[in-house]
Amino acid sequence: LGNIFHAYLFAGSRGTGKTTLARIVAREIGASGNDVYEIDAASNRGIDEIRTLRENVGLSPAAGPYKIYIIDEVHMLTQEAFNALLKTLEEPPAHVKFVFATTHPHKILPTILSRCQKFQFNLIPLESIVAKLKKIASLEKIKIEDSLLYTIGRAAAGSIRDAESLFDQLAPVIIDKGSIGDIFSFLGIIDEESLNRALKALIERDTQTFLEFIEKLARDGKDLGVFLNA
């Protein structure tokens, strides 16, 4: 336990497991439930919240050897809040550890960054997401084709949390044997055949057909951003 750093920074895209791993770290170093404090900086970003934190860090842990403060989206803190937090990081009590999670590390003050051990979280590979969804489907006894799992995985864009959420929302449709079209519509995805027609129109410089295709997407309520990223 003597090698535990006083502050960690978990940086990476949303849904890649930063907060989950922070909770695991808290558990592994022996912090009890009452000694783990989670703060959402997106909604508690001011100086008052950090002042309260500074007042409490001096108190001994309730049970375990450490008190752990997990601050999610830490980049959302105000300048004044960062300055107040810095004072604690400069001379932290031995029993206090911090885990900061952020999607935008470049927005954090360099003086804060310099006092953290940094870890970069990358997007989850598609194959890993599909493997996790297969495991969930097996546990829940849901029959689903691999092609649909890959569709959900691609729609999640590297976020395991988003993939699990989409799967959970789609489960009733899948169980009721909804069509592929129903699922594509739910996800806002354009089917491959339609994409091929649009690409053919572009290659052949058939502007009218392509514009009619775009108009139909908009009329059907499709997300044109999804189409551009397809």
**How high does pLDDT run on average in the chain?**
85
In angstroms, the CA 199 to CA 194 distance is: 9
Which residues fall within 8 angstroms of residue 61, CB to CB, at 6 or more apart? 31, 32, 35, 67, 95
Higher pLDDT, 101 or 33: 101
- CA-based nearest residue to 122, from 31, 17, 221: 17
* H or E element that contains 15: none
pLDDT tens sequence across 114-172: 999 999 999 999 999 999 999 999 998 888 888 888 888 888 888 998 999 988 888 88
DSSP string across 29-67: TT--GGGEEEEETTTS-SHHHHHHHHHHHTSPPSSSS-E
Residue 1 pLDDT grade (very low, low, confident, very high; cuts 50, 70, 90): very low
Question: Whole-structure pTM over 0.75, yes or no?
Answer: no
Q: Distance of alpha carbon 192 from its chain centroid, rounded?
A: 28
pLDDT confidence of residue 148: 82
Average pLDDT over every residue of 53-69: 89
pLDDT higher than threshold 70 for residue 187: no
24-33, 99-108, 169-178: which range is least confident on average?
169-178
- CA-based nearest residue to 38, from 76, 81, 71, 6: 71
